[in-house]
Structure 1
Amino acid sequence: MESKELTERTNNLWADLKKKIRDLKVEKKNSLEAAQFSLAETDTAIRSLKSWVITHQFDCWESEVHFFKELKPPFIAKFIYFSRVISLLSSLPHSGTKLKKGIYESELEYLRYFSLENRDFMSYYRRNATYMDRKYFLRFQYDLDVKLAVDIHSYDERFSTSHDHLIAQIIAHDDYEIFLSTQIARLKEKSFEETLPKREVQWTAPKVALTELVFALHHTHCFNGGTTSLSETVKWFEEAFSIDLGNYHNTIAEIKNRKSSPTRFLQLLTENLTTYLEKEEGI
């Protein structure tokens, strides 16, 4: 495989992975589940990428630098990011806004510490500098005069250089910081909402009108695809509006026996909505 083909295949693999992650974010019911499935997809993609690279001989050093500086790190970054999200969400307490906020802030503090420890390389990377690329992003070599990861000898040197993993960490931490900041903002919003006085919505029209509406909605199969029983529907409305509809079967019988306009309330709704729409058209 030529280096150009490797680049094309890597770009296609990355595009496919991003699509799968987007789809999982929509499909899965919560962030933890989405992260778990996304991590599995990322792992599969990285394994494919590794199988292509470990025996590949790059056409030139520029192609090799491009791969390990630009193409590989986003994959590893996703793996790091989802691993951290899973670790965090799976250990969070179910309640306690203050406690959760403290945990998120501790994670942010770790990210700040990482930035301080690696500020020189982060500056090099974010400035798009290139003068050290041959030392940082070529395989089977590293310079002992530059700062190296303490576990560098644990890496597979066929698939790693001295600094590509550090770029992956930077990318992952950028995403993780956004995630943490979003979680903290949601906690603040939730805390603010909890301090607001709650105002109940009360049904102030006659009970017979609500009974008429409930029966109409129920027999139109508006709830749970029509699988909800009439008694369940009535109970929900009673709890929602703190009202007792009493013997609603007798009420609907009285509605049925009306001499004129049995569906009086529904007709009133139609008339009022029609009047409103006609006024809106005239604006």
Structure 2
Amino acid sequence: MNGQHFKKKVDQLWSALMTTIDQINRSDNDIISRAEEILMEIDAAIRQLKVLLRQYQFVDWSEEIYFFKNTKPQFVAIYIYYSKLLSIEASKPFADPTALSSYYESERSHLLFFYNEHKDFINYYRRKSTFLDKKYFVRFKFDFKLKLSPELYSYDEEFSTSHDHMVSQIMANDLLDQYLTNKINSDHSKETSISQIRNLQWTAPKVALTELLYALHQSNCFNGGHSDLAEVFRWFENSFNINLGNYHKTLAEIRLRKTDRSKFLTLLQQNFNQHLDDLDS
């Protein structure tokens, strides 16, 4: 397997996992059931990632560093995130909103321990430093003068470096911090929002927005083309307070159109060109 084929396989694995997680989160099941199902899917994906790695030999250190600093941690991070989310929600007390807010505040404060314990490495990682990457993200290069994870002794040495798990932890904690912050602020969102600004509502058909988002995603309009389709849809649904349902099914229906399958995009082009013509006249 060459490098291009390996990267393609990993990207396909990640994309399929994100699609599966998005579909599970769109089900009517409660958060605990969804988290349990998602964890099984992530576990299967990580096992597949390990198999792919066994079949591939990195061509140089830079390629290995990239895999263990960026690629593997994103898989493990969401596993850690949903594991913690499951634990938090399964242990959540049946209480009034004020008590629940305190509960989430307490869980959020636990994240500070990790940040304080590993602040030097977190600073290194967030500043995108690279001068220690060969020690942190190359296998069999453990430097016991550096601060290592206490679980390192049980790691698979073929699938781990001294600090890739710590990167996963940072990424997971960032996601968890956002989740807990949203939970804490959910009951006060109306008071803390910039309510002076009138909210915009999508009033065109939902299928039109789906068509537009697919086009924007395929044109690499978000995060330099590194955003996932599910991430794009979640962001717009949250921003516009709209549920686009099963957008994969909607795309299949768009494909069945007999004429002008991208009719909303055609309409946008026509209206904008008309506006330009009106300005010129």
Q: TM-score range by the shorter chain?
A: 0.5 to 0.7
Residues in 2 aligned to 1:4 and 1:70: alpha-carbon distance in whole angstroms: 17
CA contact (8 A) 1:140 1:157 kept: yes
CA contact (8 A) 1:7 1:67 kept: no
Determine if the alignment matches structure 1 residue 12 to structure 2 residue 12.
yes
**Aligned runs of 1:127-166 on 2, under 5 Å?**
127-166=127-166
Match in the other structure for 1:81: 81
- TM-score normalised by structure 1 residue count: 0.64
Any idea what SS the aligned residue of 2:138 has? coil
Bigger relative contact order, structure 1 or 2 (CA pairs below 8 A, ≥6 apart): 2
CA contact (8 A) 2:134 2:141 kept: no
- TM-score normalised by structure 2 residue count: 0.64
Residues in 2 aligned to 1:161 and 1:38: alpha-carbon distance in whole angstroms: 25
Residues in 1 aligned to 2:158 and 2:148: alpha-carbon distance in whole angstroms: 17
Gaps of 5+ in 1: 193-283
C-alpha spacing 1:126/1:154, structure 2 compared with 1 (3 Å): same
Any idea what SS the aligned residue of 2:91 has? coil
By how many angstroms is 1:127 displaced?
1.2
For 1:55-100, what per-residue CA distance to the aligned partner results, in whole angstroms no more than 9, with x for missing partners?
5321111111111011100100010000001111111122232332
**Aligned runs of 1:239-258 on 2, under 5 Å?**
none
Residues in 2 aligned to 1:76 and 1:51: alpha-carbon distance in whole angstroms: 15
Match in the other structure for 1:167: 167
Match in the other structure for 2:28: 28
Match in the other structure for 1:235: none
Gaps of 5+ in 2: 193-281
CA contact (8 A) 1:97 1:187 kept: yes
CA contact (8 A) 1:137 1:162 kept: yes
By how many angstroms is 1:126 displaced?
1.1
The two structures, once aligned, show a CA RMSD in angstroms of 1.9
- How many residue pairs get aligned? The number is 192
CA contact (8 A) 1:136 1:161 kept: yes
CA contact (8 A) 2:152 2:162 kept: yes
Match in the other structure for 1:239: none
CA contact (8 A) 1:139 1:158 kept: yes
Determine if the alignment matches structure 1 residue 64 to structure 2 residue 68.
no
Indicate the structure (1 or 2) with the bigger Cα radius of gyration: 1
Matched residue type, 1:12: Q
Any idea what SS the aligned residue of 2:69 has? helix
Any idea what SS the aligned residue of 1:72 has? helix
C-alpha spacing 1:2/1:163, structure 2 compared with 1 (3 Å): same
Residues in 1 aligned to 2:94 and 2:2: alpha-carbon distance in whole angstroms: 52
